[in-house]
Amino acid sequence: MKTTDVLIIGTGLAGTYVALNLPSNLDITMMCHHSTNSTLAQGGIAISLDQKDSFEAHIDDTLTAGRHTNNIEAVKTLIESAPDQIHTLKKLGVEFDQDAKQNIRATLEGGHSFPRVIHAGGDQTGQSVMSLLDRKINSSDNIQILRGASLLELVVHHQEAIGIVYEMDGTIQVLYAKHIVMATGGLGDLYEHTTNQEGSTGEAIAIAAFAGAKCQDMRYIQFHPTAYKNKDKGYFLITEAMRGVGAYLLDAHKNRFMDHIHPLKELAPRDIVSKAIYDVITSTHEPFVYLDTRHLKTAYLKERFPNIYKTLEKDGLILGVDLIPVTPVAHYTIGGICTDLMGRTNLKHLYACGEVASTGVHGANRLASNSLLECLVFGKNVAEHIVSHHEDLPLPSYSINPLDPWKYTKTTASQNYLVHKAYIQEIMTKHVGIVRYDSQLRLAKSKLTRLLHQLKKVRYDHIDHAKSYNLISVSLMVVEDALAHESLGCHYKDIEKKGL
Ligand SMILES: Cc1cc2nc3c(=O)[nH]c(=O)nc-3n(C[C@H](O)[C@H](O)[C@H](O)COP(=O)(O)OP(=O)(O)OC[C@H]3O[C@@H](n4cnc5c(N)ncnc54)[C@H](O)[C@@H]3O)c2cc1C
């Protein structure tokens, strides 16, 4: 029987930070199946550091963006714990960008009333932080990483999470653990167009739900307003910090349109900007709007956003000279597995933190650059709780073999997972986008339910079937939650138009 003290599923900022905050006498196993979104983070980390700023102002901005439906205790915890976690990152060696007087530089982003987003490597905050933390993980003797491993099921005994079923190298295996941490990130890749890494499909949320974990707020999918369609690849994010330093949004006729929509104009909360772009795109029948930086200096933009500059330059676009075509795409998952402020779920010994978790901290719409902070603050809390509740006891005995239902052998034929995934992406994009209609949501539900029923009987025949089943299930969680709730924040339902 394979066992570990702490099993952390996910190697992004949330999972990594939990691991690094645990003592070295614990045996820790981490696992991952795709690259993390954490490495992609551009804008930075929101924290109120300046004398003229305050925790209260950051809290107010978070609540305003979230439409005051946030869990206020979670918001206070997030913001008031920020200085300690940034201090820890600095002690670990993260170098945040500084001005000539060696003060940390901070930028304005959408929905913030003060420039408070600190960054590293210009627009490569995620990469700068993660490369350093990954090195620490790799040099820790008590931490092993199972790369290319996919979580398939949680093993639960009397409301207590005791292990998992996972696939690695084509075989299905069981691993038992005293504490299990879900740090599996979001579900942007359930959509055809996303800023997320391929593989960010959120199936771990469905897996947790099947095991009895409570989930909430699945309808709140945040679309980022400004993604650029790379010539050779998918969508590439242009950070909100670009608008924070003064970039405008123009419609197809080269007119600014945010002036009429919100007092903060281009720096309104994300859901508002995305919906405004959606409306412009719908009315002009152009597939994008433009990000205009022509009034800003190329040299400054190149120094401040080196990675974005390089990426656009490869496509022949120069910041400060050319208009950049942008469009909103799926970006951040607000809902997920319900946890308290220590990352505890309703199942004993099962924790969740980072994007997969739902503490209620973001309300109906996440404030820009609050999510890396969420990984740090709640990741630290999870580690603290594990440490204070770890007893060196044997795992509870479990009489059923979790592999019993599986009929899979390496030679079993499968219906292709990628075909199912493409179909799900089409449904989510068409029917569950920025603007939703009840009739479209019902259509999505019936398509997904039909596919789920087809796969139900063959779910354990092949890894592909199990993975497809989980993907359909998490998509259905989004659709059903959207159907059950009225419009708010980034869940925008329009009045039914005739003919739809
Ligand atoms: C392009 C981009 C830019 C962003 N910029 C910012 C920013 O500037 N500031 C900010 O605050 N936020 C930003 N965000 C959001 C932020 O990066 C994420 O919310 C955060 O990094 C999520 O971290 P995480 O650890 O929860 O998940 P991730 O970093 O996505 O890691 C998820 C991990 O779980 C693993 N996993 C998932 N499912 C399974 C499974 N079934 N089996 C095994 N392993 C699994 C993955 O392999 C991966 O290791 C940005 C996001 C994107 C996509």
* 134 close to 159: Cβ distance less than 8 angstroms: no
Pairing of strands 160-168, 336-338: unpaired
CATH topology of domain 417-493: Methane Monooxygenase Hydroxylase; Chain G, domain 1 (1.20.58)
* 362 close to 370: Cβ distance less than 8 angstroms: yes
Q: Is the C-beta atom of 128 inside 6 A of ligand 1?
A: no
Structural domain spans, the chain: 3-219+334-389, 226-330, 417-493
CA 150, CA 34: separation in Å to the nearest integer? 9
Closest residue by CA, ligand 1 atom 35: 10
- Nearest ligand 1 atom to the CA of 204 is 41
Any bridge partners for residue 164, and if so which? 154, 175
* 162 close to 176: Cβ distance less than 8 angstroms: yes
CA 305, CA 294: separation in Å to the nearest integer? 15
pLDDT computed for residue 398 by the predictor: 76
177 C-alpha to ligand 1 centroid (Å): 23
**Which of 176, 148, 206, 187 shows the shortest CA–CA distance to 459?**
206
Closest residue by CA, ligand 1 atom 53: 196
Q: Is the C-beta atom of 204 inside 6 A of ligand 1?
A: yes
pLDDT computed for residue 497 by the predictor: 62
**Tokens (6 digits) for 415:** 């219906």
Q: What is the pLDDT along the chain (500 residues), one digit of tens a residue?
A: 899 999 999 999 999 999 999 999 999 999 999 999 999 999 999 999 999 999 999 999 999 999 999 999 999 999 999 999 999 999 999 999 999 999 999 999 999 999 999 999 999 999 999 999 999 999 999 999 999 999 999 999 999 999 999 999 999 999 999 999 999 999 999 999 999 999 999 999 999 999 999 999 999 999 999 999 987 778 999 999 999 999 999 999 999 999 999 999 999 999 999 999 999 999 999 999 999 999 999 999 999 999 999 999 999 999 999 999 999 999 999 999 999 999 999 999 999 999 999 999 999 999 999 999 999 999 999 999 999 998 877 777 777 899 999 988 777 777 789 999 999 999 999 999 999 999 999 999 999 999 999 999 899 999 999 999 999 999 999 999 999 999 999 999 987 765 44
15 C-alpha to ligand 1 centroid (Å): 10
CATH topology of domain 3-219+334-389: FAD/NAD(P)-binding domain (3.50.50)
pLDDT computed for residue 231 by the predictor: 78
Any bridge partners for residue 180, and if so which? 7, 350
Q: What does residue 313 show for φ and ψ, rounded to 5 degrees? A: -60, -35
451 C-alpha to ligand 1 centroid (Å): 28
**Per CATH, is 226-330 categorized as 3.90.700.10?**
yes
**Tokens (6 digits) for 500:** 């739809």
pLDDT computed for residue 230 by the predictor: 86
